[in-house]
Structure 1
Amino acid sequence: MKRISTGVEGLDKMLNGGLIPGRAYLIKGGPGAGKTTLAMQFLMEGTKKGEKCLYITFEEPISTLKEDMSKFGFDLDHPNIKLVDATPVGEKKTIFADVLYEEFATSFEKLTRAISEELNAENYSRIVIDPLTMIRLTIIDELEYRRTFMAFLKTISKYKATIILTSELRDSDIEEYLVSGVIELRSIEERGKTLRGIKITKFRGSTFDEEIRPYKITDKGIEVYHQEVLFHGV
């Protein structure tokens, strides 16, 4: 079965060769765990291979994102990557130009239409939506959120792109149920030091490494040590 690289060699090893293309995956983790960094490495790997990539942020403004990611050597001005600022204070110069954040925050359908129009205009093979947390917090009713998220995922999945969604929410049962894979970034404090572990909790269509493996956020991005085991109670 064909695989595509996440941009992190150790994680690809855990995934038995990489992600299965054309499916949706969820990256979970607390603040500072490296969700955005991992998602961006996934996109940077795509640009190296000449793929068109789309990144939509609901939390961090593009200007801040570029500054933070430049520390890892990630060129977000690459012609093969498009960045969309959907934050409450974003400048909205791209596909959300005439849509207020408050409008699509309470109407997931508007967001879906805006993304669909962009996907119809350009053939993206890799898409990141970072994070889902901001959207879920705007839809109070649980049943309404489930309905709209299912419709949203169904719509963007038909474009056959590989999709990564990020989330800080611990309670993400509907997201985990619908996506093809879940990768968790965990961290604990041990004697004043932060220990980080990565675990794959779901990966449809393939075997995978079920151990918790150590990872670090380095000056080149995330590195996963797939031959080591984290025993520290993570």
Structure 2
Amino acid sequence: MTTESNRVQMVETGNPALDTILEGGLTSGRVYLVEGDPGTGKTTLALQFLLEGAKNGQTGLYVTLSETKEELEAVAASHGWSMQEIEVYELVDSSELVDSNASQYSMFEPSEVELSKTIRGVLEHVEQSKPTRVAFDSLSEMRLLAQSPLRYRRQILALKHFFTGRNCTVLMLDDNTAQDADQQLQSIAHGVIRLEHMMGDYGGERRRLRVIKHRGQKFQGGYHDFQLLTGGLNLFPRKGQPQPIENANFPLILSGNESLDHLVGGGLSPGTSTLLLGPAGVGKSSTAMLYAISAASRGEKAVFFIFDETREVLLERAASLNMPLQKYLESGNILIHQLDPGELLPGEFACQIREAIQPSEDGRRVSVVVIDSLNGYMNAMPHEHFLIVQMHEILKTLAKQKILTFLVVAQHGMLGHMATPVDASYLADAVILFRYFEATGELRQAISVVKKRTGSHERTIREFQMRDGVIRVGSPLDEFQGILSGTPTFTGKTSKLLGKEHE
């Protein structure tokens, strides 16, 4: 299939995510370089490219210098593909490899004869079959035959000029086996796509794709994570295409708890982010769940991305607080995505969020997203400074969709000085702080709002309690001291504490 963009004919690559990165696909009739170490997915990408052409009635040719037709068919079969509509031209003749006399030349250097024969064979076959799409695998064999950089460059230029004007889009694969980085190919090719893979200190290997150049066309620069799975390359573009919601006035989002809503200034604004900060077990996730349940009860949708606990534990905790989480899961108003930090790719997470916030067929929109927690998300990132940059992009996307986002961060420690593993407070529009405190020989919790960009908020410290299946927010504790030091103490009357009127 071809599309018109700025009067330039484009061809789709067979990978919709790659077409998104290329902003439409590849320019038709040009030669492209696909480079990467062995095992990064170059052959798979080339097969997807040829199969897309076959699906649209275009002739495809796979020229192989190192692999046999049977090996290519096995690769295709592993992805569930058939190569019946793709012609494979093998430049390796097994009979010549085993015949020692066939490779002896008395008047010329063997490399000169073999390279000339190789190029001539390709040109003759292309003239006969007249393909629309060609994959040339791989250039490392031609580099070895050429022996000198000058001769190698001239042969690649000859191939490029041969394909020019024949309405043929060509992918040339290079496995980077040269000792030095070969920049000559990049200068010759119309576009360059690089595939990389690396191993982290823990977890599976990570692969990423980068479009180095695409002459005359816009594309998404930078690295894009991908997985090599059955069915091809599963790419995660760094930037998606969600359309912002324009000229829409949504009411403040309420928690359903009157005291909590009063504490945050009457509700939280759509399109903002709220950081829930405090030690483990103090009630951060339960507060986020309260807003999600309230949104679901209004017919809206809420999405959880959980790193630190399982789906079953989340449901059990909701049941203990009399929150009907299971009910809204069954109705589809609440979705839960359980993630593994050891296997999750950073780009994959951003793509999952973009897909999850798409409006459903019945018109229900997502109004609340909970990321629980940033501690687990940080463990999925190679370096901490990448987390802040990518989280900023994610929050910006959610803000354009008028979605209220909760970021849960567990601080290190329980009492005293507590360290924050990542400082995301400047990214958030509101910060709700949770603390433990001691009163009458009992460990209790406190809640306060220390920041809110969109409107006023109450500056008092209130008691926060999760007991008997109910979340309660008490009256202001005006004789509360030491909250910011991490060791708050209550010196007032015990009658102001929650639960004392029942005991």
Residue 69 (structure 2) pairs with residue 62 (structure 1): yes
Residue in 1 that maps onto 2:271: none
Residue 12 (structure 2) pairs with residue 5 (structure 1): yes
Q: 1:111, CA displacement in angstroms?
A: 2.5
Q: 1:115, CA displacement in angstroms?
A: 2.1
Residue 184 (structure 2) pairs with residue 174 (structure 1): yes
Residue in 2 that maps onto 1:208: 219
Q: 1:90, CA displacement in angstroms?
A: 7.4
Secondary structure, aligned partner of 1:193: coil
Shifted more, 27-36 versus 189-198: the winner is 189-198
Secondary structure, aligned partner of 1:32: coil
Equivalent of residue 106 in structure 1, options 84, 109, 112: 112
In the TM superposition, 1:9-20 aligns within 5 A as: 9-20=16-27
Residue in 2 that maps onto 1:82: 87
Q: Deviations over 1:125-154 (max 9, x none)?
A: 100101111110222112121222212221
Could you tell me whether the CA contact under 8 Å between 1:109 and 1:152 is conserved in 2? no
Equivalent of residue 195 in structure 1, options 183, 188, 206: 206
Distance 1:134 1:70 in 2: 25
Residue in 1 that maps onto 2:30: 23
Partner amino acid for 1:162?
T
Shifted more, 14-23 versus 150-159: the winner is 150-159
Distance 1:218 1:91 in 2: 36
Partner amino acid for 2:150?
L
Q: How many residues align?
A: 225
Residue 144 (structure 2) pairs with residue 137 (structure 1): yes
Percentage of pairs with the same residue:
28
Q: Deviations over 1:102-122 (max 9, x none)?
A: 999534333332222222222
Q: 1:91, CA displacement in angstroms?
A: 8.6
Q: 1:3, CA displacement in angstroms?
A: 1.3
Could you tell me whether the CA contact under 8 Å between 1:58 and 1:88 is conserved in 2? no
Could you tell me whether the CA contact under 8 Å between 2:142 and 2:152 is conserved in 1? no
Residue in 2 that maps onto 1:51: 58
Secondary structure, aligned partner of 2:142: helix
Residue in 1 that maps onto 2:46: 39
The structure with more radius of gyration? 2
Could you tell me whether the CA contact under 8 Å between 1:4 and 1:18 is conserved in 2? yes
Distance 2:192 2:144 in 1: 20
Change (3 A) 1:12 1:63: same
Distance 1:232 1:116 in 2: 46
Residue in 2 that maps onto 1:121: 128
Distance 2:116 2:169 in 1: 21
Residue in 2 that maps onto 1:222: 233
Change (3 A) 1:114 1:87: closer
Could you tell me whether the CA contact under 8 Å between 2:40 and 2:196 is conserved in 1? yes
Could you tell me whether the CA contact under 8 Å between 2:91 and 2:118 is conserved in 1? no
Residue in 2 that maps onto 1:95: none
Q: 1:156, CA displacement in angstroms?
A: 2.7
Q: Deviations over 1:79-104 (max 9, x none)?
A: xx210112363799xxxxxx97x999
Residue in 2 that maps onto 1:186: 196
Secondary structure, aligned partner of 2:66: coil
Gaps of 5+ in 1: 93-98
Distance 1:38 1:104 in 2: 33
Greater RCO structure (CA 8 Å; 6+ sep) = 1
Secondary structure, aligned partner of 1:47: helix
Q: Deviations over 1:137-183 (max 9, x none)?
A: 22211212122221222123342200000001262211111110000
Secondary structure, aligned partner of 1:215: strand
Distance 1:157 1:118 in 2: 16
Could you tell me whether the CA contact under 8 Å between 1:183 and 1:199 is conserved in 2? yes
TM-score with structure 1 setting the length: 0.87
Distance 1:106 1:76 in 2: 33
Q: Deviations over 1:197-230 (max 9, x none)?
A: 0000010010110021111111111111114665
Partner amino acid for 2:182?
S
Could you tell me whether the CA contact under 8 Å between 1:104 and 1:110 is conserved in 2? no
Could you tell me whether the CA contact under 8 Å between 1:61 and 1:89 is conserved in 2? no
Gaps of 5+ in 2: 1-7, 240-345, 348-380, 384-503
Secondary structure, aligned partner of 1:3: strand
